[in-house]
A and B are shown apart, each in its own frame.
Chain A
Amino acid sequence: MSDTFFSGAPHWTWFIILYFFVGGIAGGACFLAAILDWFGRTEDRPVVRTGYYVAAWGAILCGLLLTVDLGQPLRFWHMLVQSHNFPTIMFKAWSPISFGAWVVLSFGAFSVLSALGVMAEEGRIASPALRAMHRGALGKLVAGISALLGFSLAGYTGILLSVTNRPIWADSPWLGALFLASGASTGAATLILLAPGRGATERSLAWLSSFDTQALVVELLILVAFIVSLGSVNRVWLSSWGWGLVLLVGVVGLGILAPLRLHARRQPVANAARLVLLGGFLLRLATMFASEGIERYRVAAGM
């Protein structure tokens, strides 16, 4: 019996699951947008623009979900500034939740900057200076920082779970890598679904589809490493009809293997993208509830 079975569940449920899901999409989409912004072609601009919009709206939604989930939402700022020592900064690099609060804030700021640049590029904001800045070196730098912060957001959510004493989450060091890979695949899937509305070309979509295939393979390999690294604890998860089934059928079957098959057959990429998004959501759902559902060992044992 792992020593993690004696800890209490933190009641991180729907808001946090949605936050992890949206954070992964926003981070992944921003990373892909920045890659195309730096190294892509003019024909990729619709995907770049879509990616920055997804990142900005995702970051804003993440901040709202995190705040609403707090027991005292009006004290959200206590994570950023020392309430008893205003205005001294509150930051603990070794605490993933403290690190994450700053990542959400910074990612929000940089992705909104990129989105404003995109609005200027599209002519929705009449600012030639902003447009020039967005397409220049400064814009590229902002995009690069946004991409790094986006990947940090997607990955830290898994690290946050590993740095606890909860069963499953703290029994493996692979959750950060898993959520990051899932963020990349769901980010690509979101762009596949939304970018055509902004005029994305078939060639851009083909690149996204190809990247999504590779990200899904990476995700599957990490998922296997994660399950193996759990050791005997994985039986608690996989043998349960509820969350074990969601993981094997929902995440592995529908969320990874089925879209891989669709991508390989060059089937309509939108269907594969929808399945990837479903899988990404179910991954977080099953991971969170599989551990949340394990009540303290002593209670379960009737002690």
Chain B
Amino acid sequence: MPDAMGFFTDTTVCIGCKACEVACKEWNQLPAENGGIRELSGDSYDNTRRLDGIHWRHVRFIEQFKGPYDGRWLMMSDVCKHCVQAGCLEVCPTGAIIRTEFDTVVIQSDVCNGCRACIAACPFGVIDVNPVSGTAQKCTLCYDRLKVGLEPACSKACPTDSIQFGSIAELRARAQKRVDQLKAQGVDAHLYGADPTGPLGGLNSFYLLVDKDEVYGLPHKPQLPSRNLARSSSFSVASAAVLGILALVGLRKRRMDDMGGAGGRVGGGGPN
């Protein structure tokens, strides 16, 4: 069994070149949006804007400017987190979403029927429908490349090693070293998703961030969709029981009224 593999993304060295986005699109033969006619976002140099069924990598530009000379750019190459406890895998009704031998999460496009339950289940908004296939799609962590010993296309293309690929144990050690180094320089850095005892059992694609999680578009405490299952089901059963009792009490009352009104004679036909 191979080691669990994944990505460590050090956002402090991302330069926003989007080489990872291009490499991902090229390797996975993802179609262009809007027939290749790019619509500009109008309020950012980032025109991809988000992850979806045809953008499995997205370099997020976070433009924090208080004035013309007072600001900073934060950049983060975002991707599927390949959660150790994956919400998408949990709800998928066709078995299309599987965990691979590399501990990554992959959607089998030939099994998926496009019900879109995984889209609503993902706490990170990673998955969407690919309009060409009609199925839900996302990063596969280049499963086809991993099978033949190759590195994923995005990390291979990253010119600054902001995206690092490797075994999770090794990446976590490297990430902690980098956090310590930045803290020694006075930078308030922290890791997101590196803790195996944290939310979702840790993420196999984790990040080094220098601002709040939400600033990067990441939920502070992502959760599994099944957290609501037991309570929601029991409330529904209770509501069904109440309605059933009300219906039966209503029938009994009608029968009692019949008996009272007719001096003991049952009206309106015999018992069913």
| Chain A residues proximal to chain B, CB less than 8 Å | 1, 3-12, 31-32, 35-45, 69-73, 75-76, 78-79, 82-84, 90, 92, 94-98, 101, 151, 155-156, 158-160, 162-166, 169-170, 173-178, 180-181, 184, 201, 203, 207, 210-211, 214-215, 218, 222, 296-299, 302-303
Is there contact, CB below 8 Å, between B123 and A165?
Answer: yes
| Chain A positions within 8 Å of B239 at CB level | 155, 176-178, 180-181, 218, 222
Contacts A94-B229, A158-B232, A173-B232 known; A84 to B111 CB distance under 8 Å?
Answer: yes
In chain B, positions 220-272 with a C-beta closer than 8 Å to chain A are: 220-223, 225-226, 228-229, 231-233, 235-240, 242-244, 246-248, 250-251, 254, 268-272
**Which one, B43, B87, B219, contacts A6 given CB within 8 A?**
B219
Q: A75-B113, A165-B122 are in contact. Are A39 and B251 (CB under 8 A)?
A: yes
Q: Taking each of A9, A36, A97, A98, which has the highest tally of chain B beta carbons within 10 Å of its own beta carbon?
A: A97
Q: Return chain A residues, CB-CB under 8 Å to B251.
A: 35-36, 39-40, 207
The answer to whether A214 and B219 have CB atoms under 8 Å apart is: no
| Interface residue range, chain B | 35 or more
In the docked arrangement, what's the CA distance between A78 and B236, Å?
27
19 contacts between A and B (CB under 8 A): A3-B220, A6-B218, A6-B219, A8-B125, A9-B120, A10-B116, A35-B244, A41-B271, A42-B269, A75-B111, A98-B93, A151-B240, A163-B229, A170-B228, A173-B235, A176-B235, A180-B240, A180-B243, A181-B243
**Residue contact B120 to A42, C-beta cutoff 8 Å:** no
Q: Which residue of chain B has the shortest Cβ distance to A48 in the bound complex?
A: B272
Asked if residues A215 and B272 are in contact (CB atoms below 8 Å), the reply is: no
Bound form: Cα–Cα A298–B58 in Å: 13
B214: interface (CB < 8 Å): yes
Pick from B92, B122, B229, B242: contact of A8, CB below 8 A.
Answer: B122
B189 at the interface (CB under 8 A from A): no
Task: Enumerate chain A residues within 8 angstroms of B123, measured Cβ to Cβ.
Answer: 3-4, 6-7, 165
Judge whether B94 is part of the interface by a CB distance below 8 angstroms.
Answer: yes
> Which residues of A lie under 8 Å from residue B236 when comparing CB positions?
155-156, 158-159, 176-177, 180
Q: Which residues of chain B are near A73, meaning CB under 8 Å?
A: 113
> B66-106, CB under 8 A of A: which get 1 and which 0?
00000000000000000000010011111110000000000
Rounded to whole angstroms, the CA-CA distance of A178 and B223 in the bound complex is 23
Taking a contact as CB atoms closer than 8 A, the residue among A94, A155, A158, A207 that contacts B226 in the complex is A94
In the assembled complex, the CB of A92 is this many whole angstroms from the nearest CB of chain B, namely 7
CB distance from B230 to the nearest CB of A (A): 9
With A155-B239, A298-B125 given, name 19 new contacts (CB 8 A). A7-B123, A8-B128, A11-B129, A35-B248, A40-B251, A41-B268, A75-B114, A78-B94, A78-B113, A83-B111, A92-B93, A97-B91, A97-B117, A159-B228, A160-B117, A165-B222, A173-B228, A298-B50, A299-B50
Asked if B146 is an interface residue, CB under 8 A from chain A, the answer is: no
Answer whether residue B22 sits at the interface, using C-beta atoms and an 8 A cutoff. Answer: no
Taking the closest CB of chain A, its distance from the CB of B221, in whole angstroms, is 6
Distance of B129 from chain A, by nearest CB (Å)? 6
Does B176 make an interface contact (CB < 8 A)? no
Checking A11, A214, A299 against B246 with a beta-carbon cut-off of 8 angstroms, the contacting residue is A214
- Per-position binary interface string of chain B over residues 183-197, scored 1 when its CB falls under 8 Å from any chain A CB and 0 otherwise: 000000000000000
Q: How far is the CB of A105 from chain B (nearest CB, A)?
A: 12
CB within 8 A of A211: which of B135, B214, B247? B247
A71→B119 contact, CB < 8 A: no
Question: For the complex, what is the distance from the CA of A151 to the CA of B239, rounded to whole Å?
Answer: 10
CA distance A302 to B41 in the complex (A): 10
- CB pair A176 B119 closer than 8 Å: no
